[in-house]
Each structure stands twice: as structure tokens, then as C-alpha cells.
Amino acid sequence: MKNLTDQQKGSLLAFVAVMFITPDSLFIRLSNIDTWGLVFYRGIIPFLTVFFGMLLIYKLNFFKILFTSGYHGIIYVATFSITNITFASIIYIFFDSLKIGNFYGDILGFVTAIGLAVGAVTIRSAKSKNLVPAAVVGKLFVATFALFFIESFALLEKDLIIVPVMCILCVAIPFVLVTIAPRFIPAAEVNLFFLLETIIGPIWVWLIIKEQPSIETLQGGAIIITTIAIHSFLKLRKS
């Protein structure tokens, strides 16, 4: 990583993060957990994983990094918490909102998009600060919020494997990488990589569950991949 330019570092981090995120919708489909149970476990498991990992690396400096992040840290905790709560909800109600005209899912989608944008801009404006501890606190807030709505903590036998794997691979690892990436490239470029999930995610579902994606999904995905490839090529060549 030392020999890479900032553009290369940021693009690589964002790309790897999104690749980890792509099986997320598949894991959610395979699990039998309810919405708030999902939000809770996607908060508490990544929180514990990254928190103890950072304690091993930074020891008590973790708290020093957290408290010195200032208002950037506060803003990121807020946006990170909100987007994590609204995104899990979207997965369950998005398709119904299209069928019955319920715009609740669309509103949550809008809030999520705004939150992601504000969070990425916040990281970009605080390039000298490490906001990963702020994201860790955000995950704790998400889990705490879900506690007020969760009906059961019980997991079915197969969920004992699916849920932890999903929370670590598709949540914990990506949120660390996504929190670091905007320090090297503009926020808009980081969010551009997230579009890859919209095409690769359904492919995972197709391969495992045999649910074939629509022709519109494939056509839109081809446009997205081509756009990102051209944009990344031009940016990397320029750098």
C-alpha cells in the first residue's frame, strides 16, 4: 500500500469493501431472522468484532482517537447509525413499496443515500483523523436502538452460522474499509463503487438460490460496471 497513490489506495479500499458487501442480500434471504433482530445482530456483532480488534491494535489509544475526533466524530456517529438502521429496513419493504404504492421504503432509501453521502463527505473533510472508532460507537448505538423493538434473540440452527458470517464479512470488514477510503478519494467516487452491489448482489442470489435476475437488472448492471470501469481507468491513469 505504501507504493500506491492516494487514488489507487482509495479505489482499492472502496472496491474491496463493496466486494465484501455483495453477498449481503443473499445472506439476508437465507436467514430466517426478523427485521429488528437483523438490525440488532448487524450492530452488536460488528461492534464487538471491531472494538476488540482495535483494542488489540491501539489499546487504550482507541478512546483517545475517539475523543479527539471532535465534531467530525459526532457527525459520523449520527449518520452511520441512521443509515445502518434505515438500510436493514429497506431490504424487507422495498419490493412491497413498489407493488402497493407505499412510499415508506422510498423515504428510507432517500435517508440512507443522504446519510451515506454526508458520512463520506465528513470523512473526506477530516482526512487527518481516524473515524473508525466513531463508526464502532455507531454500531453500538444501532444495536441499542434495535433492543427497543426486537421480539426475540433466538436464532434457528442455520442462523447460528449465517448471521455471524454475514455480520463479519458483509458488515464489519466493509464498514472499516469504507470509513478509511474517503480519506484518499472524493466521497462521490467512494459512493460510485456502491453501485456495483446493485448488480453483483442479484448474481449471488441467482447462483445460490437460482432466482434469475431480470433483463433490466442485467442491462443496468452492464451500464454501471462500464461507467465505473471507465471512470476508474481515467482517474488511475491521471494519478
Q: How do residues 80-108 score in pLDDT, each as one tens digit?
A: 998 888 877 544 444 444 444 456 666 77
Query: Is residue 162 situated within a structural domain?
Result: yes
Residue 1's pLDDT is 64
Domain count, the chain: 1
Query: Is residue 51 situated within a structural domain?
Result: yes
Domain of residue 17: give its range: 6-238
The gap from C-alpha 179 to its chain's centroid, in whole angstroms, comes to 10
- 52 versus 213: the higher-pLDDT residue is 52
Query: Is residue 200 situated within a structural domain?
Result: yes
Residue 35's pLDDT is 82
Mean pLDDT over each residue of the chain, to the nearest integer: 82
Cα–Cα separations (whole angstroms), residue 126 to 14, 20, 22, 70, 76: 17, 25, 28, 10, 11
Query: Is residue 193 situated within a structural domain?
Result: yes
Q: Which long-range contacts (CB under 8 A, 24 or more apart) does 199-203 make?
A: 199/224, 199/225, 200/18, 200/19, 200/22, 201/21, 201/22, 201/23, 201/24, 201/25, 201/26, 202/25, 203/22
Residue 239's pLDDT is 59
Query: Is residue 88 situated within a structural domain?
Result: yes
Query: Is residue 39 situated within a structural domain?
Result: yes
Backbone phi, psi, residue 2, to 5°: -65, -30
pLDDT at 74 over 70: yes
* Whole-structure pTM value: 0.81
Query: Is residue 158 situated within a structural domain?
Result: yes
Query: Is residue 1 situated within a structural domain?
Result: no
